[in-house]
């Protein structure tokens, strides 16, 4: 199967995606319109109801300032003269109200300053490491001032804003997005667009952006109106750092200088997946083994670094296959953790054992007879492997496995490479296991460089847990849909990398 085409650039709206200035705009709009309504006599046909958070989303968010004024006035049945761009803030015109809103916004900005969203900044770090182009688009003519205040003026390859629109005669958000793609020298179809406003999302559709992501920050809105982003965005996220899409990752070996700069002489804590990372992927999971040379490389690394193996396998099973003493093992996706002087077993996982046994029996009756199916019973889960199943029977395996899952609410499904695993429906995964071990071992990611190396879908939770705090290394092709920071092509390359770490 050919690799997907990677996206080459990210175009991000500023307010509400990069900077926490949407609330400042909302406050300025509310102050403006409440003053306008309070100062007008009651006139038939006019609606003087206060400006709400729903009004912000529906009427002004993401639009040029004057369009926001016009749309709010029209919504309330209020007619004002257009006026002139030279109108001051006291003029009772569209331009005058626009000037007053801007003055109120700048005053609010001066009082509060500019904060950025940590999740977006963590994602930018990852994308810039892979040399994706980054552009910011904003209808605001204060965009560059805000970026300066936030210390981000030099972060982007292109800035297209309200001043750009004025200078170049651009009209509307679609023109701004198209101009940003042109400045990045990337076709819109190879761009990811991040927008928190429905008007921006629709503009991205108009331009033809390949992936349009609605960024839902409703938790910051007092009245929290229902998000309309789902109507037009390809995806909606609340946390940008968890956004995944196909991109070309850099090999950590090829970027060794950048890696050493990130490390800065700090000690290492290395978390390793087993199957597909230390052990090559095999058709029969019971035949998986770690090569002697890889085992020796890990053993050598333990002399200078903290090492743990985090696996979907039973903890006792992976411990036996690895054959390494003095390290920590997290089995069953972190439900069972054991190491020198430390141990953790999730009690809710023990409680679900009866359900796992019952579902296992069902699966052995329904999918067990299908040629190529391997049913693997673990301490806390049961996995259905279909790597050796003929293509025409794969859908049946998935259907029957999901039917078995539907019989109990105490289990959930996790998918991986040609496997569906049914395990306890508790909020615990490899990312939680990594965090628990960091706390238990007293490892501070600011003082120690923490790395996680893995190849499968379940390893994405660990990559997410280390976003902005450590490094994720994906074992697989260079074009991948992953949260990792770097890639290594296969377990042999993992062994070579671990050997090089041990020799540093």
Catalytic sites, residue numbers: 273
Tokens 């990337």 correspond to: 186
Structure tokens at 352: 């679900």
275 beta partners: 279
CA–CA separation, 310 and 437 (whole Å): 10
CA–CA separation, 77 and 82 (whole Å): 15
User: Residues near 110 by Cβ (< 8 Å), separated by ≥ 6?
Assistant: none
DSSP string, 142-208: THHHHHHHHT-TTS-SEEE-HHHHHHHT--SHHHHHHHHHHHHT--GGGEEEEESSHHHHHHHHHHT
C-alpha distances in Å from residue 499, one per residue of 148, 282, 293, 304, 503: 44, 23, 10, 12, 6
C-alpha distances in Å from residue 172, one per residue of 65, 67, 303, 308, 460: 11, 10, 60, 52, 38
Q: What is the DSSP letter of 58?
A: I
Strand ranges across the sheet with 486-488: 250-251, 486-488, 471-475, 449-454, 268-272, 305-310, 328-331, 336-339, 342-345
CA–CA separation, 309 and 475 (whole Å): 15
CA–CA separation, 190 and 202 (whole Å): 17
Give the torsion sign (CA, 63, 64, 65, 69).
negative
Name the residue among 38, 45, 499 with its Cα closest to residue 300: 499
CA–CA separation, 35 and 29 (whole Å): 10
CA–CA separation, 177 and 164 (whole Å): 12
Name the residue among 156, 125, 131 with its Cα closest to residue 143: 156
Contact between 13 and 22 (Cβ < 8 Å): no
DSSP string, 331-348: EGGGTEEEETTEEEE-HH
135 beta partners: 11, 158
Structure tokens at 427: 């909020």
């Amino acid at each position: 199967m050919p690799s997907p085409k990677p996206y080459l650039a990210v175009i991000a709206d500023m307010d509400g995606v990069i900077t926490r200035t949407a609330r400042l705009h909302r406050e300025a709009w509310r102050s403006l319109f409440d003053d306008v309504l309070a100062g007008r006599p009651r006139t038939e046909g006019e609606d003087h109801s206060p400006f709400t958070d729903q009004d912000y989303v529906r009427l002004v968010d993401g639009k040029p300032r004057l369009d926001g004024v016009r749309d709010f006035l029209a919504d309330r049945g209020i007619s004002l003269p257009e006026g002139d761009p030279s109108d001051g803030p006291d003029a009772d015109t569209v331009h005058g109200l626009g000037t007053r809103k801007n003055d109120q916004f700048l005053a609010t900005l001066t009082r509060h300053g500019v904060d950025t969203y940590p999740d977006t900044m963590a994602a930018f770090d990852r994308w810039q490491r892979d040399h994706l182009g980054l552009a910011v688009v904003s209808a605001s003519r204060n965009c560059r001032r805000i970026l300066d205040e936030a210390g981000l003026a030099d972060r982007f390859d292109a800035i297209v804003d309200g001043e750009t629109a004025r200078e170049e005669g651009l009209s509307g958000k679609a023109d701004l997005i198209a101009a940003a793609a042109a400045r990045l020298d990337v076709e819109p179809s190879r761009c990811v667009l991040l927008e928190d406003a429905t008007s921006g999302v629709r503009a991205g559709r108009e331009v033809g952006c390949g992936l349009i992501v609605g960024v839902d920050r409703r938790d910051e809105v007092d009245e929290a109106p229902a998000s309309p982003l789902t109507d037009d965005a390809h995806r909606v996220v609340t946390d940008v750092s968890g956004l995944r899409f196909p991109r070309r990752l850099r090999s950590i070996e090829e970027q060794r200088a950048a890696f050493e700069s990130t490390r800065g002489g700090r000690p290492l804590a290395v978390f390793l997946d087993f199957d597909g990372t230390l052990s090559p992927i095999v058709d029969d999971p019971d035949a998986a083994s770690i090569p002697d040379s890889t085992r020796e490389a890990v053993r050598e690394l333990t002399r200078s670094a903290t090492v743990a193996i985090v696996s979907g396998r039973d903890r006792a099973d992976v411990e036996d296959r690895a054959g390494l003493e003095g390290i920590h093992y997290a089995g069953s996706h972190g439900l069972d953790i054991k190491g020198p002087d430390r141990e953790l077993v999730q009690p809710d996982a023990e409680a679900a054992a009866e359900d796992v046994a019952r579902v296992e029996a069902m699966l052995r009756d329904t999918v067990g007879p299908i040629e190529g199916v391997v049913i693997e019973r673990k301490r806390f889960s049961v996995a259905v492997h279909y790597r050796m199943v003929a293509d025409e029977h794969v859908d049946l395996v998935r259907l029957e496995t999901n039917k078995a899952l539907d019989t109990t609410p105490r289990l959930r499904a996790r998918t991986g490479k040609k496997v569906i695993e049914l395990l306890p429906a508790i909020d615990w995964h490899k990312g939680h296991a990594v965090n628990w071990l960091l706390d238990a071992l007293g490892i501070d990611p600011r003082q120690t460089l923490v790395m996680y190396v893995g190849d499968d879908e379940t390893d994405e939770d660990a990559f997410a847990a280390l976003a902005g705090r450590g490094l994720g290394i994906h074992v697989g092709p260079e074009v991948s849909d992953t949260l990792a920071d770097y890639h290594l092509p296969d377990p042999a390359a993992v062994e070579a990398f671990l050997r090089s770490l041990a020799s540093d």
